[in-house]
Amino acid sequence: MPDTIDPAIASDWLAIGDSLGLVPGTSRRARLLGHDLHVRRRPDGALEAWFETEPTRPCHATDHCGFILLCLGDEPRPLFELAAFANPARRFLYMGGFGIHSGPLRVVENFLDMAHFPFVHAHILGSEEATEVRGYEVELDARQELWARDCKFIQPLASADAKGGADVDYVYRVVNPFSPMLYKHPAGRSAELADIIFLFIQPTDEERCIAHFAISLFDAQSSSGEIMAFQQNILGQDKPILENHVHKKLPLDPRIEVPSRADAASSTFRRWLRDIHLRWGIEAQSTEPRPRLSVEVAGKRTVARDIVEFRLRSPRRGPLPSATAGSHLDVHLPNGQIRQYSVCGQDDEGYTIAVKREADSRGGSIALHESVQAGMQLEIGLPKNNFRLDPRIEHAVLIAGGIGITPILAMARDLAARGKRPVLHYFCRSAEHAAYRAELEALLGTNLHLHLGLSPQQTEDQVRQALQAGGDAHAFACGPAPLMQCIERVAAERHWPADRVHFEYFRRTTPVEATGPAFTVELARSGRRVQVASDTTIVEALRAIDIHLDTSCEQGVCGTCLCTVIDGEPDHRDQYLSAGEKASHMQMLPCVSRSRSATLVLDL
């Protein structure tokens, strides 16, 4: 076997075309995993194949489920099973091989992504009136096949013979990293009658591939031309998006790119590729430290009692990177500490943040209030957003408590600028503690509800009023822990879907529990290993061997210490990562999280 074939995929069967495309007595060339091959069908119908550069070295070839499959390794895996394909009532239609200038793994991941249906395939596979991706189950079975089950989506035109919209059931199956298929049928119809769509990828090179598109179905009414036109239209809508990715190879390093929070199948797919140690077609891991920006404090003013606003701009007066509503910055303080502050707004000159002087400050807010003055320079990280305001949201209920107004103000400005009318409930101790009150009154008018000096019961009554009618609204909340716990409780009681209630935590709402069984951490870049005792955090264990990670809250809230997991299963105990991100086990916060496996390998 040539040394350049990645052992993680050397034994996989990969498609190079349809079986009927190669008649007895003929041959053709094919390219697979960077190798040029010859494939021949003998007069007796059997297939044979060999490497063009090594004619005496054969590779394995077979027909299966309408495709010609090749394996370049010495020991092929068993062929995938698909008993339904043999049903004589089914039609099999090969719709062609389509060249795509994108990494083959990118194409597979896109195939698994339902979230893009309403936007890329509007009025066909999805609608902008129904964008929610409902929860579904993802697993890697004993045969090392990835399955995503109970996937449901409302589709205006699900197939060539569809007469109108339908709630459609999907089951995704990925038999190897380049060979996904989809079982698809309208809700209520037997799964035995599902259409089976194949998107078998021929990975020609790391940044180019051929997508072999086929379908097995029971449709006896539609012509082959109608079915092909429908399915090819879908692929044609995806192709330009795939070819315009910045990274054509698939990044597994979360510092480069993280899958959508709603995309459990994509997260599991990436985790699977990491677990089998695939390198071919994978974007190289980033070795760069987190970038910092130098900014000048252009202005400092008091906007409420104990709250000071800072305007930050580039010393060269140039533009700063975009900070979308809900973003925050890592601010590197003169005393060496790193603290996170929400971006209230951004204009042509730079960012605005507002900081409350906390009575129990650990040094961050005091340093900014007392030591940082206009004209000084600071270092900040690039804007990060874990409290994102989806631009498609039409109706929003905003809830802020005290200094929690900072990200909520940015959202109110963004929504108002787009002609929306958000409702804001702003809880403060008193009128003099209400930052940006005049601007909010001018911006929102009667949609601003200012609640001053309320008791806990009065606060809960107002939260119940705010969350009285859900509908298609999304709620965004930021504030002190008691308010956030109240909102969580009321939203659950009123049956708000979890994906329509969004929180930005300044501090944990539950006590930190960072103890547990001892385990070993291995640092992938240096090979060093450190034992993490039952009463010690990973961050503390690393400090003991003179390895210092950037940290801030050390409560699993801010995300400063976020790192990449290469191997092992983290025990997530943070309030920063989403449920989907935790399930993928691709990242963790070592300040509080631990390990469920005996050894945890981190990209450090």
Domain boundaries, the chain: 1-79, 86-275, 292-381, 396-505, 519-602
Alpha carbon distance 427, 462 (integer Å): 10
Of the ranges 109-118, 150-159, 187-196, 348-357, which is most confident? 348-357
Pairing between β-strand 137-140 and β-strand 146-155 as defined by DSSP bridges: antiparallel
- pLDDT confidence bin for 323, thresholds 50/70/90: very high
Residue 19 in this model has a pLDDT that exceeds 80: yes
Average pLDDT over residues 119-137: 65
**pLDDT of 436 strictly over 60:** yes
Give the mean pLDDT of 532-560.
87
Instruction: Reply yes or no on domain 396-505 having CATH 3.40.190.10.
Output: no
Mean pLDDT of the chain: 87
Are the beta carbons of 10 and 278 closer than 8 angstroms? no
Bridge-based pairing of strands 377-381 and 35-41 is unpaired
CA-to-CA separations, 30 to 7, 39, 298, in angstroms, rounded? 20, 7, 61
**Ramachandran angles phi, psi of 212, nearest 5°:** -95, 115
Exposed e or buried b per residue across 531-547, where buried means at least 16 C-beta atoms within 10 angstroms of its C-beta: ebeeebbbbebbeeeee
CATH fold label, 292-381 = Elongation Factor Tu (Ef-tu); domain 3 (2.40.30)
pLDDT in the model for residue 159: 59
- 453, with CB counted inside 10 A (0-12, 13-18, 19+), is exposed
Write out pLDDT tens, residues 463-513.
999 998 777 899 999 999 899 999 999 999 998 988 789 988 876 656 778
User: Which class does domain 86-275 fall in?
Assistant: alpha beta
Asked if the model's pLDDT at residue 259 lies above 60, the reply is no
- CATH superfamily for 519-602 is Beta-grasp domain (3.10.20.30)
Contacts of 135 (CB under 8 A, 6+ apart): 150
* Structural contact between residues 470 and 496, judged by C-beta atoms closer than 8 angstroms: yes
Residue 394's Cβ-count burial label (10 Å; 0-12, 13-18, 19+) is: middle
Confidence of residue 155 (pLDDT cuts 50, 70, 90): low
pLDDT band at 249 (very low <50, low <70, confident <90, very high): very high
Q: SS3 string of 208-225?
A: EEEEEEEEEECCCCCCHH
Q: What is the pLDDT of residue 3?
A: 54
Q: What is the pLDDT of residue 2?
A: 47
Phi-psi region of 585 (alpha: psi -120 to 50; beta: other; left: phi over 0): left
CATH architecture of the domain with range 1-79 = Single Sheet (2.20)
Residue 378 in this model has a pLDDT that exceeds 90: yes
Q: Which candidate, 535, 545, 552, places its Cα nearest to that of 589?
A: 552
- Collapsing DSSP to helix, strand or coil, 515 comes out as coil
pLDDT over 70 for what percent of the chain? 89
What's residue 16's pLDDT? 97
> pLDDT band for position 107 (50/70/90)?
very high
Q: Transcribe 525-573 into DSSP letters.
A: TT--EEEE-TT--HHHHHHHTT-----SSSSSSS-TT-EEEEES-EE--
pTM, full prediction: 0.61
pLDDT in tens, 355-364: 999 877 666 8
**Please, are residues 485 and 493 in contact by the beta-carbon 8 Å criterion?**
no
Beta strands 292-304 and 307-313: pairing type? Answer: antiparallel
Average pLDDT of the residues in 325-349: 90
* 14, 52, 98, 287 from 200: Cα distances, Å: 8, 23, 11, 33
> In this model, does residue 64 exceed pLDDT 90?
yes
pLDDT reading at 300 higher than 90: yes
CA angle at 440 for the pair 437 and 443, rounded to the nearest 5°: 155
- CA quadruple 216, 220, 222, 228: dihedral, nearest 10: 20
Q: Per-residue b/e over 179-190, b at no fewer than 16 CB within 10 Å?
A: bbbbbbbbeeee
What's the CA gap between 447 and 449, in Å, rounded?
A: 6
Q: Judge whether residue 312 has pLDDT over 90.
A: yes
Residue range 516-528: mean pLDDT, rounded: 90
| SS3 track for 254-314 | CCCCCCCCCCHHHHHHHHHHHHCCCCCCEECCCCCCCCEEEEEEEEEEEEECCEEEEEEEC
- For residue 239, is pLDDT > 90? no
Spatial CB neighbours of 289, under 8 Å, sequence gap ≥ 6: none
Q: Residue 537 pLDDT > 90, yes or no? A: yes
Residue 360 structure tokens = 């129990």
Tokens encoding 63: 């027909």
Residues 297-311 have a mean pLDDT of 96
Reply yes or no on whether the pLDDT at 31 is more than 90: yes
Q: Pairing between strand 47-51 and 58-64?
A: antiparallel
Average pLDDT over residues 172-197: 87
Q: What is the mean predicted confidence (pLDDT) over 14-35?
A: 96
Intra-chain end-to-end CA distance of the chain, in Å = 33
- Beta carbons within 10 angstroms of residue 427's beta carbon: 26
pLDDT at 1: 44
Residue 431 predicted with pLDDT over 90: yes
pLDDT for position 50: 95
